[in-house]
């Protein structure tokens, strides 16, 4: 008998860093993995995991899930750390306070938000450390216009203050503010480079979509890395690139070969989801992306948007209301191939772009479980990681299980390690690692959420521990468990 809190007995332990892939016991004390070995003595609690894979929990670099319900769906998909990096939330100190006060099923962390800092500096909007403020104002032209020099200075000061407060980097939703100038973008990258912090960009329109654009969205990211030396992370290459994924990845690959720090991520779905009031969803702009109003499904009512007039009405009434946007056709083999290219691109990490849940009725108590049928989201919230594992290792994919798991855990942890020392203990399953652990069945792990049934949890994820506490046990949520802790920069 040892003083370990729990021993996971006899599972196939895969550590993507060391290459360990053997049947072993894993002993956890407190929030730390203490020992991995064969025939370990008993701990206070024992769990037989024979026949299952035991590996590091997944680190999601792109989660807008700011509610307990959405994060529970992510935990059921193997996620143990969900970071809001692309949009970011400003002020970050308030975002961390809010999360700590409400409790979180998984570990959480935030980048500073260029969009919110811009809303404050350019449009005088009051910030509260919540993403909802961004969504509520997403469609307002006031924050999308070119900024005067003093306004750029003010927003850079806000971002610098967030970085000093432990923000994990700077999220740059430049694609949502067409009036923001390329010089402003370079100054944000320059600030990040000075602070040794990464940036996370939702790219501007590509030149193929808007031939008269001030700069191509992909070129802008790559150029900023080259000119400022900043680490530029290119968010969801699959969705902002649409059928130009090959061109964008070629550009990124050349920049990487030339020594620029550009990294990428993808999620394995053909549709996106965002606030219906986004600038690029204006009826007169849909054709740029080959879309029509009926490419959009408004989540709150489930309606396919019938006409440009109805789209205008919805954008006016509920600009932050979320809509599914069909970008690639998941039934078309050529489009599926593009999604696989974005996932298998060397170094690309799996990241979900998980969304806050939309309620078609009154929002229930935050701890209500199972979720009522009034919860709607994009299936990527519940299914990204299981779906990626299935596609990469079984249904057509050529990756080994360890390689695919590495894209979900080790690769994102490494990507963030320079700025976030805590990442050295995540994304690995080794003595001394944080006890963020997922136990899964590699033969059956799969997404089950669909566009029609968007909150259906993944299958094959048997147990999930976050900081040594069970968040998921025997495939279901542990009632009341909120073991998530903050992840901050040093
Ligand atoms: Zn985005």
Residue 141: how many CB atoms within 10 A of its CB?
11
Residues of the chain with pLDDT under 70: 1
The rounded Å distance from CA 159 to ligand 1 centre is: 19
The rounded Å distance from CA 269 to ligand 1 centre is: 13
Closest CA to 115 of 150, 81, 139: 139
- Judge residue 397's burial from the number of C-beta atoms within 10 Å of its C-beta, 0-12 exposed, 13-18 middle, 19 or more buried: middle
Radius of gyration, CA atoms only, the chain: 21
The rounded Å distance from CA 114 to ligand 1 centre is: 13
The rounded Å distance from CA 274 to ligand 1 centre is: 8
Model pLDDT, residue 1: 62
Residue 112: how many CB atoms within 10 A of its CB?
34
The rounded Å distance from CA 13 to ligand 1 centre is: 34
* Residue whose structure tokens are 């729990």: 6
Residue 164: how many CB atoms within 10 A of its CB?
13
pLDDT in tens, 165-194: 999 999 999 999 999 999 999 999 999 999
The rounded Å distance from CA 200 to ligand 1 centre is: 9
Contact assessment for residue 350 and residue 401, using Cβ atoms and an 8 Å cutoff:
no
The rounded Å distance from CA 235 to ligand 1 centre is: 7
Which residues crowd ion ligand 1, with CB under 5 Å? 202
Cβ partners under 8 Å of residue 19, min gap 6: 402
C-alpha neighbours within 13 Å on the C-beta side of residue 257: 6
Model pLDDT, residue 396: 84
Contact assessment for residue 65 and residue 75, using Cβ atoms and an 8 Å cutoff:
no
Model pLDDT, residue 283: 98
> Would you call 209 helix, strand, or coil by DSSP?
coil
Model pLDDT, residue 2: 78
């Amino acid at each position: 008998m040892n003083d370990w809190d729990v021993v996971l007995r006899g599972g196939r332990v895969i550590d993507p860093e060391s290459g360990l892939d053997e049947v072993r016991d894993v002993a956890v004390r407190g929030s730390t993995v203490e020992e991995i070995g064969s025939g370990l003595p008993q701990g206070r609690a024992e769990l037989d995991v024979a026949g299952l894979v035991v590996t590091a929990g997944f680190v999601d670099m792109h989660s807008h899930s700011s509610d307990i319900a959405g994060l529970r769906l992510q935990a059921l998909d193997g996620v143990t750390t969900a970071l809001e990096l692309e949009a970011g939330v400003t002020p970050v100190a308030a975002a961390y306070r809010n999360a700590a006060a409400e409790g979180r099923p998984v570990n959480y962390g935030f980048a500073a938000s260029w969009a919110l800092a811009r809303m404050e500096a350019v449009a005088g909007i009051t910030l509260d450390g919540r993403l909802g403020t961004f969504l509520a104002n997403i469609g307002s032209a006031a924050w999308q216009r070119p900024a005067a020099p003093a306004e750029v200075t003010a927003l850079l000061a806000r971002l610098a203050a967030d970085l000093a407060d432990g923000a994990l980097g700077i999220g740059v939703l430049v694609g949502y503010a067409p009036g923001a100038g390329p010089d402003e973008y370079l100054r944000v990258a320059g600030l990040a480079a000075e602070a040794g912090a990464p940036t996370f960009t939702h790219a501007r329109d590509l030149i193929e979509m808007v031939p008269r654009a001030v700069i191509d969205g992909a070129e802008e990211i790559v150029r900023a890395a080259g000119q400022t030396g900043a680490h530029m992370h290119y968010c969801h290459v699959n969705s902002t690139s649409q059928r130009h994924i090959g061109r964008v990845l070629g550009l990124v690959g050349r920049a990487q070969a030339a020594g620029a720090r550009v990294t990428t991520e993808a999620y394995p779905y053909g549709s996106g989801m965002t606030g219906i009031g986004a600038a690029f969803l204006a009826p007169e702009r849909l054709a740029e992306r080959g879309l029509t109003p009926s490419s959009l499904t408004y989540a709150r009512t489930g309606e396919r948007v019938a006409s440009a007039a109805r789209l205008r009405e919805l954008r006016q009434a509920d600009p932050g209301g979320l809509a599914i946007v069909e970008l690639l056709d998941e039934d078309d083999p050529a489009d599926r191939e593009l999604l696989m290219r974005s996932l298998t691109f060397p170094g690309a990490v799996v990241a979900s772009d998980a969304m806050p849940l939309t309620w078609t009725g009154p929002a229930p108590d935050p701890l209500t479980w199972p979720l009522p049928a009034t919860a709607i989201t994009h299936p990527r919230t519940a299914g990204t990681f299981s779906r990626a594992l299935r596609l990469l290792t079984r249904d057509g994919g050529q990756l080994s299980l360890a390689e695919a798991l590495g894209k979900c855990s080790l690769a994102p942890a490494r990507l963030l390690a320079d700025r976030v020392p805590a990442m050295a203990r995540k994304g690995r399953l080794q003595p001394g690692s944080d006890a963020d652990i997922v136990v899964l069945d590699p033969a059956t792990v799969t997404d089950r959420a669909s566009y029609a049934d968007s909150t259906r949890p993944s299958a094959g994820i048997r147990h999930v521990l976050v900081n040594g506490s069970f968040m998921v046990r025997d495939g279901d949520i542990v009632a009341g468990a909120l073991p998530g802790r903050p992840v901050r920069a040093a």
